[in-house]
Chains A and B, each alone.
Chain A
Amino acid sequence: EPEVTQTPSHQVTQMGQEVILRCVPISNHLYFYWYRQILGQKVEFLVSFYNNEISEKSEIFDDQFSVERPDGSNFTLKIRSTKLEDSAMYFCASSGTGGGLIRNQPQHFGDGTRLSIL
């Protein structure tokens, strides 16, 4: 069964540095998402992406964050200048094959990238 894959599994970065988290969504999916989960807290939505642009974003997704689909397979999340509070597990998800209503199609999640800011 196709899977969403994320790399790296663990990223350690100095505060103030830029970090890029990478995701390869399921190949025929059209919608892409990033979520984060701070240790011990709920999973929080960051952003959704469709047709090469952001379709929704949360209050968390400020100017320090950006997303990109640089080619036909990767979907990246960039944090420009990391802060200690950015330490979390970041999950990528994808959904929507284009057949049927998009809202009926569930999101498939990757394993996540644990981001540790020092």
Chain B
Amino acid sequence: AQTVTQSQPEMSVQEAETVTLSCTYDTSESDYYLFWYKQPPSRQMILVIRQEAYKQQNATENRFSVNFQKAAKSFSLKISDSQLGDAAMYFCAYRTNTGNQFYFGTGTSLTVIP
């Protein structure tokens, strides 16, 4: 079974600085999808960024980028120029190529310090 591990339960970053959230996963599949979701205090999970495993190029969405290391099964999220609104719980998620269910990590709570 697929597992997703987020080893940092809490992280903090100074406003305008850069922070990296770690995620590793375990799978025997070669094709799959990886996601980062943000869950602000309002509780709705919002898609931040996604990566297709067959793509070597790291995904980027404005201030958010990933470092996808397929061999190492690592999928970290970098947030540049952190803003107060980035404060949230961040979940890393894995989805198989064939199924629809997500496998989530336990989340990293990010605090942004003004």
- Interface residue ranges, A against B (CB under 8 Å): 3-4, 31, 33, 35, 41-45, 48, 50, 55-56, 58, 89, 91, 93, 95, 102-104, 106-112
Tell me if A's interface is mostly helix, strand, loop or mixed.
strand
Decide yes or no whether B16 CB sits under 8 A from chain A: no
Complexed CA–CA distance, A109 and B47 (Å): 9
A56 to B106, Cβ gap below 8 A? Answer: no
The answer, among A31, A44, A106, A111, for a CB contact under 8 Å with B104, is A44
B103 to A111, Cβ gap below 8 A? Answer: no
- Interface residue ranges, B against A (CB under 8 Å): 4, 33, 35, 37, 42-47, 50, 52, 91, 93, 95, 97, 99-107
Tell me if B's interface is mostly helix, strand, loop or mixed.
strand
**What residues of chain A lie closer than 8 Å to B91, measured between beta carbons?**
42-43
The answer, among B44, B97, B99, B105, for a CB contact under 8 Å with A56, is B99
The answer, among A50, A95, A103, for a CB contact under 8 Å with B97, is A103
B43 to A33, Cβ gap below 8 A? Answer: no
B95 to A111, Cβ gap below 8 A? Answer: no
A103 to B44, Cβ gap below 8 A? Answer: no
Q: How far in angstroms is the closest Cβ of chain A from B7?
A: 13
B106 to A109, Cβ gap below 8 A? Answer: no
Complexed CA–CA distance, A23 and B47 (Å): 19
**What residues of chain A lie closer than 8 Å to B35, measured between beta carbons?**
106
Among A45, A48, A56, residue most surrounded by chain B Cβ atoms (within 10 Å): A45
Complexed CA–CA distance, A73 and B3 (Å): 33
Complexed CA–CA distance, A16 and B106 (Å): 29
Chain B, residue nearest A57 (CB): B101
B43 to A48, Cβ gap below 8 A? Answer: no
